C-alpha cells in the first residue's frame, strides 16, 4: 500500500515537467543536403538555428559554444512538414447540434497530452492545423499548433501569431447531420440539400453583416450619446463579423465542383477573399475558377470513393490544380496519414509528374500560405522558425526514414534515442499490455474522438445510424 518515489522516477517527473521550460533552442545541423523548397537544393550545407530561429545557412558554419552539433552528412534536411487538416490534440471535435457554430473554438479544447502529436512529429510534421469537424455548414474556429511534445499546458503548443481560421463544410456531411438524420424525433433542420447549404451560408453572412453594422452604428453613437443602447451581444455573429473584416481565414470542407463554385460566389458577394477549400476532391474540375478567385486547395493524395461525393475524383487532383495555378497542399485528415505526409506528397509525382520541389511545396510552403504563417515557416530561409526535419534518404523516396525533427530548434523526435513509450500521462488504472486497435490508412471516416462525439451526441437522443 505504501510506496514512495524512487529517485529515477523523480528524475522522470522532473524531465516531463521540464517540457514546459525552454521552447526555443539552438542547434547546428552540418553537412546535409538542404531542401529549402523556395531556394532550391543546397548540397553539403549547414543550417544553424539560434534561439529557435534559423540564423544562418551555408558551408563550414561555426557552432557557438555549447550548441548541439548534428552531423547530417549524407542526410536530407527539409522544412518541418505542415499538415493543413488535422484533428489531433483535441478533446472534442464536432459541436454538431447546430448548423452554424462559429462561436466555438478548438483553442478551448486543445489537448497537449495526445500521442498523435509525437507520432506525427516522427514523420517530420512540426505544425498542424487542428480543426473543428465537418458536421456543420459553419463550424468552429480551428487552431494552428506546433508539435512541442512534452508540453503539458495547452497554451504552450499554440502557434502564437498564427492567424485565426474557421471551418466551413459543404455537401453530404452537414446535410446528413442536420437535414437527413431526424435525431430521435427532434426534427430535421435546414440544410438537407446543397441548396439549403447555400442559404445557411448567406443567412449567416447577412446576419453577421447586419450585426457588424449595428455595432458600428452603436459605437459611433456612443461617442456622443451616453444613453446609446448597444445591440444584443452575440458570440456567433461576432465571429461572422470578424470573417467579414478579413480577420479569419476560411477553410471549407468541400467535395463537389458545383458547391465549390457556390461558395466562391457567396464569398465574393460578401467580400471575403481568403479561402482554402479542404479535401476539394472535385476542385480539379473548376481549377480555372479557383485560380481566378485566388482560392487555395488542400487535398488528399489519393482518397476517393468512400462517399458518393468523392466517387468522381482523381488522384491527379493536386497535379491538375498545381498546373492551373492554384496554390495546393496535401493534408492528412488522419492520425495515420499524418505520420507519412512526405509519402503522400510524393504520390503527386506518380499522379501528374510534379517535380521534387513542387511535391515538397505541397507539404511545406503551400500549407504555410494557406494558414497565413508563410513568413514564419514552410521553407528553410534565414529568419524563419527553426522547424526542420532530417531524413535518411530523400523524403520523396519510399525508402526514406525520418530520423530527427526540430521545432523552434528544440528536438521533439529522435529515432535513435527516444524511448518506445513516450506517453506523458499514463492511465493509472487501465490494464497494462492490452491490444488497443489501430488507425489504418483506410480509416478516413473520423478520428476516434470525432466518432465518440457523434455517437454520444446521437445516442443521447436515440438516433440510429452513423456513417
Partner 1 sequence: MSKEAAFPRSSRAGNSRGLLWLAAALWLLPSEALAQKNSPDIPVVSTVTAIQNARIVPSPGQVIESGTVVFRDGVITAVGRRVDIPYDAHVIDGGDSLSVYAGFIDALSHVGIPEPRNQGQPESVPDRSNPPFERAGITPEASARTALDPEDDAVEAMRHAGFTTALVAPRGRMLPGQATLALLAGTNASEMILQGAEPMFFQFEGAQGVYPGTPMGVMSKFRQLYREADRRRKLEAMYSEDPSGLSKPPFDPVHEAFFPVIAGNRSVAIWADDVLEIHRAMTLQEELGFSMMLFGLEGGFDTLSKVAASGVPVALTLDLPDKPRWAAKVEADSLQQILDAYDDETRTATFRDVEAEQRNLESRQLWSRARYVGMAAAYHDAGVPFAFASMGVDAKDIHANLREMIGEGLSSDAALAALTTNAASMLGLSDRMGAIRTGMMANLVVTHGSLFNEDTKITMTFVNGHMFEAPASTGRTGSNSPSDR
Partner 2 sequence: MKRFMTFVLAVGFLIQPFEVQAQEQDEKARQGTYAITNARIETVANGTIERGTVVIEGDRIIAVGENVAIPDGARVIDGSGLHVYPGMIDSGTNLGLTEIGSVAETNDTNEIGDITPHMEALTAVNPNAVAIPVTRVSGVTTVVAEPTGGLLPGTAALVNLFGYTAEQMSAGSKMVIVQFPQEPSGNRPRWQQSGPDRRQERYKDALAKLDEVFDRAELYDRIMTAYAADPSGKEQPVYAPEMDALRPVLSGDVALMVKVDAADDILKAIDWVQKRELPNVVFSGVNEGWRVADKLAEAGIPTLVGPVLATPTRSSDRYDRAYANAGLMAEAGVKVAIRSGESENVRNLPFNAGFAATYGLGKEAALRAVTLAPAEMFGIADDYGSIEVGKKANLFVSDGDPFETSTNILALFIDGFNVPIESRHIDLYEEFLNRDEGRLQPVEILPADN
In the complex, minimum distance from the CB of residue 442 to partner 1, in angstroms, rounded to a whole number = 27
CA distance 143 to 225: 39
Nearer of residues 38 and 152 to partner 1, judged by Cβ? 152
Residue 56: contacted member of partner 1, partner 2, none (CB under 5 to 8 Å, by partner type): none
Q: Is residue 204 packed enough to be buried (19+ CB in 10 Å), middle (13-18) or exposed (0-12)?
A: buried
In the complex, minimum distance from the CB of residue 231 to partner 2, in angstroms, rounded to a whole number = 28
In the complex, minimum distance from the CB of residue 107 to partner 1, in angstroms, rounded to a whole number = 8
Residue 397: contacted member of partner 2, partner 1, none (CB under 5 to 8 Å, by partner type): partner 2
In the complex, minimum distance from the CB of residue 431 to partner 1, in angstroms, rounded to a whole number = 6
CA distance 272 to 243: 7
Nearer of residues 60 and 431 to partner 2, judged by Cβ? 431
CA distance 268 to 266: 5
> By three-state DSSP, how is residue 58 classified?
strand
Nearer of residues 110 and 262 to partner 2, judged by Cβ? 262
Say if residue 191 is preceded by a cis peptide, omega within 30 of 0.
Answer: yes
Nearer of residues 74 and 230 to partner 2, judged by Cβ? 74
Nearer of residues 241 and 287 to partner 1, judged by Cβ? 241
CA distance 104 to 98: 11
Nearer of residues 101 and 400 to partner 2, judged by Cβ? 400
Half-sphere exposure of 232 (CA within 13 A, CB side): 6
Adjacency order of strands within the sheet including 248-254: 138-141, 164-169, 248-254, 275-279, 296-299, 328-330
Orientation of helix 194-222 relative to helix 257-270, angle to 10°:
20
Residue 4: contacted member of partner 1, partner 2, none (CB under 5 to 8 Å, by partner type): partner 1
CB 203: neighbour CB atoms within 10 A?
Answer: 14
CB-based contact 80:124 (threshold 8 Å): yes
In the complex, minimum distance from the CB of residue 333 to partner 1, in angstroms, rounded to a whole number = 19
Residues that bind partner 1 (CB under 8 A): 1-6, 8-9, 12-13, 17, 91-92, 94-101, 103-106, 108-109, 111, 140, 152-155, 183-187, 189, 227, 229-230, 232-236, 419-421, 423, 425-433, 453, 456-458, 460-462
Nearer of residues 123 and 367 to partner 2, judged by Cβ? 123
Residue 51: contacted member of partner 2, partner 1, none (CB under 5 to 8 Å, by partner type): none
Residue 233: contacted member of partner 2, partner 1, none (CB under 5 to 8 Å, by partner type): partner 1
Amino acid at each position: 500500500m505504501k510506496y514512495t518515489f524512487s529517485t529515477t522516477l523523480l528524475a522522470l517527473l522532473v524531465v516531463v515537467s521540464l517540457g514546459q521550460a525552454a521552447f526555443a533552442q539552438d542547434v547546428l545541423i552540418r553537412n546535409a543536403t538542404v531542401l529549402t523548397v523556395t531556394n532550391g537544393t543546397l548540397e553539403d550545407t549547414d543550417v544553424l538555428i539560434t534561439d529557435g530561429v534559423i540564423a544562418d545557412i551555408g558551408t563550414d558554419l561555426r557552432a557557438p559554444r555549447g550548441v548541439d552539433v548534428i552531423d547530417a552528412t549524407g542526410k536530407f534536411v527539409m522544412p518541418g512538414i505542415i499538415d493543413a487538416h488535422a484533428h489531433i490534440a483535441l478533446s472534442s471535435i464536432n459541436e454538431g447540434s447546430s448548423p452554424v457554430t462559429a462561436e466555438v473554438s478548438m483553442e478551448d479544447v486543445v489537448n497537449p497530452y495526445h500521442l498523435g502529436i509525437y507520432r506525427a512529429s516522427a514523420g517530420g510534421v512540426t505544425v498542424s492545423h487542428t480543426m473543428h469537424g465537418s458536421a456543420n455548414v459553419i463550424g468552429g474556429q480551428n487552431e494552428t499548433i506546433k508539435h512541442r511534445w512534452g508540453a503539458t499546458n495547452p497554451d504552450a503548443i499554440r502557434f502564437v501569431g498564427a492567424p485565426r481560421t474557421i471551418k466551413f463544410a459543404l455537401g453530404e456531411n452537414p446535410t446528413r447531420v442536420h437535414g437527413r438524420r431526424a435525431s430521435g424525433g427532434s426534427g430535421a433542420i435546414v440544410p438537407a440539400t446543397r441548396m439549403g447549404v447555400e442559404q445557411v451560408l448567406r443567412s449567416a453572412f447577412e446576419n453577421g453583416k447586419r450585426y457588424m453594422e449595428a455595432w458600428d452604428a452603436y459605437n459611433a453613437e456612443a461617442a456622443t450619446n451616453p444613453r446609446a443602447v448597444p445591440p444584443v451581444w452575440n458570440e456567433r455573429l461576432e465571429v461572422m463579423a470578424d470573417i467579414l473584416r478579413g480577420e479569419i481565414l476560411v477553410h471549407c470542407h468541400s467535395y463537389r465542383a458545383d458547391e465549390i463554385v457556390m461558395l466562391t460566389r457567396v464569398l465574393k458577394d460578401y467580400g471575403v477573399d481568403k479561402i482554402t477549400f479542404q479535401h476539394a476532391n472535385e476542385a480539379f474540375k473548376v481549377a480555372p475558377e479557383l485560380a481566378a478567385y485566388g482560392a487555395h486547395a488542400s487535398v488528399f493524395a489519393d482518397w476517393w470513393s468512400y462517399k458518393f461525393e468523392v466517387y468522381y475524383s482523381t488522384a491527379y487532383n493536386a497535379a491538375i490544380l498545381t498546373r492551373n495555378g492554384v496554390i495546393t497542399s496535401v493534408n492528412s485528415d488522419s492520425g495515420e496519414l499524418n505520420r507519412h505526409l512526405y509519402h503522400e506528397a510524393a504520390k503527386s509525382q506518380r499522379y501528374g509528374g510534379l517535380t521534387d520541389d513542387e511535391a515538397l511545396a505541397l507539404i511545406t510552403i503551400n500549407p504555410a500560405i494557406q494558414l497565413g504563417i508563410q513568413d514564419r515557416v514552410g521553407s528553410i530561409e534565414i529568419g524563419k522558425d527553426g522547424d526542420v526535419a532530417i531524413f535518411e534518404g530523400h523524403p520523396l523516396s519510399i525508402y526514406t526514414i525520418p530520423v530527427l525533427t526540430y521545432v523552434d530548434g528544440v528536438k521533439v523526435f529522435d529515432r535513435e534515442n527516444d524511448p518506445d513509450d513516450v506517453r506523458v500521462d499514463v492511465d493509472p488504472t487501465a490494464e497494462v499490455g492490452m491490444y488497443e486497435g489501430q488507425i489504418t490508412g483506410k480509416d478516413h471516416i473520423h478520428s476516434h474522438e470525432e466518432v465518440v462525439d457523434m455517437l454520444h451526441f446521437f445516442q443521447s437522443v436515440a438516433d440510429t445510424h452513423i456513417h
